Every structure is written in structure tokens, then in C-alpha cells.
Structure 1
Amino acid sequence: MIRPARRYHPAMLVVAVTFLALLFSAGLRSAPGVMMLPLEQHFGWDRATISFSAALGLLLYGLVGPFAAALMMSFGIKRTMLVGLALMAVSTFASQWMTAPWHYVLSWGVLSGIGSGAVASVLGAAVVNRWFATRQGLVMGLLSASTATGALVFLPFLAWLSQGGAWKPVALAVSLGCAALIPIVALLIPEHPEARNVRRFGEADDTPPPAPLKQAATPWLAIEALVRAARTPIFWLLAGTFFVCGLTTNGLVGTHMIAFCGDHGIAAVAAAGLLSMMGFFDLIGTTASGWLTDRYDPRRLLAVYYGLRGLSLLALPFIDFGPVSLTIFAIFYGLDWIATVPPTVKLANQSFGERDAPIIFGWVLVAHQIGAAVAAFGAGVIREQVGTYTPAFVAAGVFAVLASLVFVIGFGRRDPIRADPLPA
């Protein structure tokens, strides 16, 4: 018998552990930005080569998402998390013995990219839909903010470990952190609310249970979802603007900001502290974005978020990189870093239904990571060729402003039409 909701709900513990898992995944994906200069100094690899591994990791981080979402429906959320964390721990630990660029590409690009892709934003969407009937925007905002919190917690510490050009302590710290989380997930994450004899948080007692799947939710379901979603304009709207989101966040700022500051004579630890400040303010901004998403038109929110982000990136190359100007940039940009996730998830839920939306959002996240990969590799090539990051940041700012205009133009249109649900 399923008991009615009570003051303490197991969903809160699930959210807390999921937040930790997403935090460590974000810490892993931010580590290449810290390791870029030490690897360049230690091995003599050029920045374009190092950036390629970061770009590949970001791409796979997104590409794995929809398949992971499909696996969560049959293989289970907990098991998918455990496999992802184990792969992240093993690949980063093994990287301590790399001696050639392809070793770095394999460990930090391919293997860790696949592992972290199983513990990404699509995990947050799956947890929210499975465990929450109300306050979904707020909880998704909190889980999305874990990406920023990963920078807040890890970057200064990792930058401190990399002092003097050291990179192995960074790899070891990330590996041990991921490994330590495995038993926590195994012990504390139940697979369904029914496993704790409760309903979803905020769900009425007379709500009928979800219809069981008529066929196994295999990774092929992710392909089927993509084919169906590709026929709807809303999918391309979400994917196109989320491409810009990736281009302007973890691909560019997350990967190259420390090196960009280094070009202006700012030490790695100080630059990591700047990213940490961005992470702190994004924790506030993205959680607030989730609260706003529960109350306002997500299209209007996205128009504001992309517009403000674009203006901040256009201004960055032309400031004096002094403490005051960088602090203002960190606060302004940080409040907006991952704020786009909750309204994007809400639009996906409105358009494709709560059961199918995590898979569709996984494909939207693929576009995000393609954008991130383009920026991570492209900015490295631009820096290598012209000696400055300025063209990369200006181009990213222009793309963000264009994404804002897309939603401004769409204000007068009716809400997205819900797509037909995928076959059960």
C-alpha cells in the first residue's frame, strides 16, 4: 500500500544524492580547464591538441544523454549512475600514466565523456519527473545549479593542486571523488517512489499510477524519440538555442577562461577563484530561475537570459581585467550561467509529455554539447592562430544575442503544441 505524502519525503534524499553526483560530474568536466596550462608545459602539447580532448569529452557528455535516459527507464536510474561514476573514476585514475596525446583523448575525452554523460542534466530531468509532481522547475533549477556548484567547490582546490605545473594530483583528486560517491549512490538511491511506499512529492492520493511500458525501454527508444521529435519545430528551437547555450558556457568560459586570464597575467589560482565566484552566483541564479519557471512563460525567461549573457560576453574582451571589472563580470555572467536549463526542461515537458521529455531533453542536451565542443576546440584554434581569444568571445556573444531574438520573435505565438507521446 502506498502511503500518502508526509513531512519528510524520500524524494529529498534522492535530490541531495543526485546533486552530489551531478556536482562531481561537473567537477570532472571542469578539470581540463585547470589542466590545460600544466599539460602544455609538461608535455609540450599545443593548445589546439589539448582543446580537442576537452571538446570530445564535452561532445560525448551530451551525446550519451538520450541513450542514458532510455536506459534509466529499463536498466534503472541507480544502475546508470553507478556505471557512469565507475567509468569516470577508472578513466581519470588511469590517465596518471599517459604519455601521448591520444592517451589524454582516450581517458579525459572518450571514456570520461561517456561516464559523465550518464551523470548529466538528463539525470536531473529523469529524477525530477520520476519523483516530483509539483515544484519541478524549482528542483530542476537546484539540480542544474550543481554544475555551477561543481566549479564553486572544485576549481580553486584543483587549481591549488596544479600549482607549479602539476597535473597528476588533479587527475587523482577527481578519480577519488567519483569513486567515493559510488557506495553513497548504491545505498541511498531508491529506484522508484513505490520502493519507499510513497507517491511522488506533491502527488494527490487519488492520482492513477503511470501506465506500464508495453515494450522494453532500450537505447533504440532514444533513436525513435529523435525521429519523432525532429518533425516538430519546437525541438529545433530548443536544440538550436541550447547549442548556443553550450557554446557560451562550458565550451568557452568553462574551458578557456583560466587560460584567457593567464594571457592577461592572472595566475591560475586567481582565475579559478573567478570561476568559483561565477559558480556561487549561478547557484543563486539557476535556483531562482527554477522558481521563476514555475510561475512565468519560459520563453520570456530564455529571451532575457540569452540576451544578458550575450552582452556580458561581448563586453569581456574589452575590459581592463582588473579586480573590480572581473568581479562585476563574474557576478553578472554567473547569475545567468546555467539559468537556461529549467525553462528549457519545462518547454520540453510541455511539448513532449513528462514520460518522454527526459529522452527528448537528452537530445537537446546533445546540441548543447555540440556547441560546447565547437567552442572548446574552436577557441583553442583561434588562440593558436591569432594569439588572442577576443574573436572567440565576441562571436559567442553575438550568437547569444541572436538566440535571445529568436525567443523575442516567438512571444506572440501560442504555446508549443504537445507532441504525440512515443509508443509505450
Structure 2
Amino acid sequence: MVRVAGPQGEVMSVHRAWWVASAAALVIIGAGACATTAGLLVSPLHHEFGWPHGTISAAASVNLVLYGLTAPFGVAAMDRFGMRRMATAALLLIAAGAGLTTLMSAPWQFVLGWGLLVGTGCGALATTFAALVADRWFAARRGLVAGALTAATVFGQFALLPVFSLLVDFDWRAATGTLVAVALLVAPLAWAVLRDRPSDVGLLPYGASRPEPRDPATSVTRAVRVLPWRSGAFWLLASTFAICGASTNGIMWTHFTPAAHDHGMPAGVASSLLAVIGVVNVLGTIGSGWLTDRLNPRLLLTAYYCLRAGSLALLPGLLGPSAQPALIAFAVVFGLLDVATVPPTIALCRELWGSDGPIVFGWISVAHQLGAGTIALAGGLTRDLTGTYTPLWTAAALLCLTAAALALRIPTIPREPVTVLAAAPQERAEDGLRCCHRSP
């Protein structure tokens, strides 16, 4: 516990879990700042080096795919080597990759720096890291915390975009150099505050009345062993999340700014709209976490994907040289829906796979990024071949409707009948009290 002074001078205790969650949020924001900058670099790199849009998008695609592929192994590595060590190492890897990008002169160097190094570092600190923090440090409010940390991911990805857009207009190398500085500033914070488990500092998880079972020592190979590749539920959930990645990271992060620029909109204005998405996303994702603690996550996913389909279908008619009220309204609605799918997906992973849920979620995140990487590459190729991004928005809307239908088919776990054995009166009374105080 950490003791702080209250408004009347009284001493209040704040559980260490909240400080760990706060530090994790800052780490995630620092890593997230690198995830969307590739969209700002498309035009400057095209103009300076003459690289085709498809070539630049290839590096962004590698980044997105590795962002997903790293996730399940990152969680298992945190099991093996520790959350604090891995988070710090990931931030240093991001700094190295962004630093290399400032010195590049050939496309393969962009793929190596931005695609391989930054993608791997960001993947280790993706939503699976948020799921692990929520799962280990919180017995209560897991959905809320998972939603808040997921919101931190997108806040970092979008909220700083206007600043980076100004830097890119001045010098794109200054923008990537700033990302290096951000990662290097956050790394010491990760080392100082993060701890692997509450038991490491003599505490129980927040809201727990007794220690939770601790998994035996694990290795990175656990990520492969727990992959439920024979489970139909896994493939249904992975399919919905692949579509989630295609309709957010793949098309919005990489191609919204250049698509808006094609319609005469300045890059700074387009980046400001993405920033609106990022800021509103905080409310949407935290609200989704709150709803996940109370409603069926399958129904939530269906509703989110249907609403996202409608918004994407309308977007081509809203793009223009300026940010009209209808386009701002789109940014607000899309921000509420953007990463709202993550808390219910995390909840379903825990419901279906128990303590292996965070690692299974990592594998499902692989599908998310494969979908994102596919659309990121397809978007660049489509722009080179047709001169427009318009077909992508319609395709993304249709994919979201498909995801809504798939979410309804995710099965529930049958509950085994409970056999009540004869017990002493005192034991029966205690059981009754426990039932009365059980969370709904």
C-alpha cells in the first residue's frame, strides 16, 4: 500500500496495483506513439526518396504484423524473465529502431528499423501487456483496468499525432528523433515502478481476499503450448479480431492521412482528426470495460462491429479539403468504437481459457495484426494502381458486418451442475454468506 494525504489531511491508502497500472499506462502511451507515425511518413518519404506508396506501406505492413506476432511470445517472455525487464527492453528496442530510421537511405533500412525493430518493441507492449497487468494485479475491476490500459494504447497512438505532424512538416527526421527521446524517457519509469506480481512486494491483487494460484515457472515455449488451434471458439474470436485490425490499424492508422490529403486536406488537419479519435477513444474503451463487467461480451462485440460498419461506409462521402462537422462527428463516433472491442475480447479469452487467457489473447492479437498488415499493404497497392483509396472503406465496412455475425456464434462454456454435500450448520451459514457476497 502507498499512503497519501487526503483532502482533509487524513492519511489514505492507495493499493500498489493502481501505481503499477498508472506506470504501465505511461509505458503503453510511450510505445503507442510509434505505432501511427508511419502514416505521417508516407508522403515525405515518397517525395524525398521517390519510393512508391506500396514500398513504404510494405514497411508499415511488416511493423503491424510483427506487432501482432510478438504479442503472445512477449507475454510468455514476461512470465519467464519478468514484466519489468521485458518492458524496459522493449522500449530500448523501439528507440533503436526509430533511431535507425533517421539515418536510412534505402527501403530495406526502413523495413529493418521501422518494420522489424519498432514493430517488435511495440508488439511486446501491446494490449496483451495491458491484459497481463490487469490479470495479475487486479481481482476486481479487471474489465475497467483492461479498458483504461487499452485506451492508453490508442491515446498514445493518436493524441500526439498533431505534434508529430508539425514536426514532420518541418523535418520528418525530427519527428522520428522525438520518438527516440520519448522511449528513452519512459524506460527508466518502467524499471522503477513496474513489478511482476503483487506477491513480489508482499501484497494481494487489488480486490482479492486470498492469494490467487500462481502458475508454475514457464518459458517462451508456453506461448506455443497453450495455442488452442483446435478450438472453434478460438478461430471465431480470431476472425473477428482480424477484421478489427483491418478496419482500424490497417486502414485508419496507415491510410487515413494520405487518403484525406488526396481530397485536398492538409496533413495537420487529418492528423488532428486522428487525435480526436484517440482522445475520444479513452472514453469509449473505459466505457466498454465498464460494460464488459456487466453485459454479455458477445453482444457487445456484435453491436460495436455493426456501428463501426456504418461509420466506415459513410466515410468516403465525408472526406474533403476541410474538416466539416459531419467528419468531426465521424471521428467522435469512430473513436468511441475504435478499441472498444478489446475489453470484451479479453473477457472472452479469460472466460474460455482461464489463466491462459492473456497468452491466448496474444495469439488472437496476431490475427488482429495480420488483418491490419494485409489491409495496410493492400491500401498502398490500391492507391498505386487506381489512384484512390475509396474501395477500401467499403470493403472494411462489409468485413465489419461479417465480424458482427461471427461474434454471435462464439460459444459459452457449459456450467456443470453443482453437487451440494451435507455440511454442518455453521459451514452452511458461512456458505450462504459467501453466496450473498459473490459478485454478479
Q: TM-score, normalised by structure 1?
A: 0.92
Note the alpha carbon deviations across 1:160-194, whole angstroms, 9 max, x for none.
10115x21011101111001111111111122212
Q: How does 1:332-347 map to 2 (within 5 A)?
A: 332-347=333-348
1:150 maps to 156
1:210 maps to 213
1:49 maps to 55
2:419 maps to none
CA contact 1:26–1:151 (8 Å) conserved in 2? yes
Tell me whether 1:176 sits opposite 2:177 in the alignment: no
2:327 maps to 326
Tell me whether 1:317 sits opposite 2:320 in the alignment: no
Q: How does 1:54-203 map to 2 (within 5 A)?
A: 54-164=60-170, 166-203=171-208
Distance in 1 between the 2:265 and 2:335 partners?
A: 19
**Which residue type is aligned with residue 176 of structure 1?**
A
**Unaligned segments of structure 1, at least 5 residues:** 1-5, 419-424
1:382 maps to 382
SS in structure 1 at match of 2:195: coil
CA contact 1:88–1:111 (8 Å) conserved in 2? yes
Distance in 1 between the 2:236 and 2:277 partners?
A: 27
CA contact 2:59–2:111 (8 Å) conserved in 1? yes
**Which residue type is aligned with residue 375 of structure 1?**
I
Q: 1:82 Cα shift?
A: 1.0
**Which residue type is aligned with residue 34 of structure 2?**
L
Distance in 2 between the 1:122 and 1:407 partners?
A: 20
CA contact 1:149–1:279 (8 Å) conserved in 2? yes
**Which residue type is aligned with residue 389 of structure 1?**
Y
Distance in 2 between the 1:414 and 1:191 partners?
A: 32
Tell me whether 1:295 sits opposite 2:294 in the alignment: yes
2:37 maps to 31
Note the alpha carbon deviations across 1:100-154, whole angstroms, 9 max, x for none.
0000000000111111111111101111111000111110000111122113432
Measured on the aligned residues, the alpha-carbon RMSD in Å equals 1.4
How has the CA–CA distance of structure 1 residues 320 and 248 changed in structure 2, closer, same or farther, with 3 Å as cutoff? closer
**Which residue type is aligned with residue 347 of structure 2?**
K
Distance in 2 between the 1:172 and 1:393 partners?
A: 32
Q: 1:231 Cα shift?
A: 1.5
Distance in 2 between the 1:402 and 1:218 partners?
A: 36
1:397 maps to 397
Q: 1:406 Cα shift?
A: 2.0
Distance in 2 between the 1:38 and 1:154 partners?
A: 18
**Unaligned segments of structure 2, at least 5 residues:** 1-11, 416-440
CA contact 2:97–2:118 (8 Å) conserved in 1? yes
CA contact 1:55–1:373 (8 Å) conserved in 2? yes
Note the alpha carbon deviations across 1:231-258, whole angstroms, 9 max, x for none.
2111111100000000000111011110
Q: TM-score, normalised by structure 2?
A: 0.89
Q: 1:414 Cα shift?
A: 5.7
Q: 1:259 Cα shift?
A: 0.4
Note the alpha carbon deviations across 1:54-101, whole angstroms, 9 max, x for none.
010010011011111111112111111011101001111122110000
CA contact 1:251–1:374 (8 Å) conserved in 2? yes
**Which residue type is aligned with residue 188 of structure 2?**
P
Q: 1:417 Cα shift?
A: 5.5
Q: 1:319 Cα shift?
A: 2.5
Q: How does 1:351-362 map to 2 (within 5 A)?
A: 351-353=352-354, 355-362=355-362
2:268 maps to 269
SS in structure 2 at match of 1:7: strand
Distance in 2 between the 1:416 and 1:401 partners?
A: 25
**Which residue type is aligned with residue 377 of structure 2?**
F
Distance in 1 between the 2:381 and 2:237 partners?
A: 28
1:407 maps to 407
How has the CA–CA distance of structure 1 residues 320 and 109 changed in structure 2, closer, same or farther, with 3 Å as cutoff? closer
CA contact 2:308–2:334 (8 Å) conserved in 1? yes
1:422 maps to none
**Which residue type is aligned with residue 183 of structure 2?**
C
Q: 1:293 Cα shift?
A: 0.2
2:221 maps to 220
Q: Percent identical across equivalent pairs?
A: 38
**Which residue type is aligned with residue 148 of structure 1?**
V
How has the CA–CA distance of structure 1 residues 325 and 94 changed in structure 2, closer, same or farther, with 3 Å as cutoff? same
Note the alpha carbon deviations across 1:292-319, whole angstroms, 9 max, x for none.
0000000000000011111111111123
Mean alpha-carbon deviation: is it higher for 16-25 or for 270-279?
16-25
Distance in 2 between the 1:181 and 1:283 partners?
A: 20
Distance in 2 between the 1:91 and 1:44 partners?
A: 22
Distance in 2 between the 1:151 and 1:232 partners?
A: 33
Larger radius of gyration: 2
SS in structure 1 at match of 2:136: helix
Q: 1:349 Cα shift?
A: 0.1
SS in structure 2 at match of 1:162: helix
Tell me whether 1:10 sits opposite 2:22 in the alignment: no
CA contact 1:234–1:416 (8 Å) conserved in 2? no
Count of residues paired in the alignment: 402
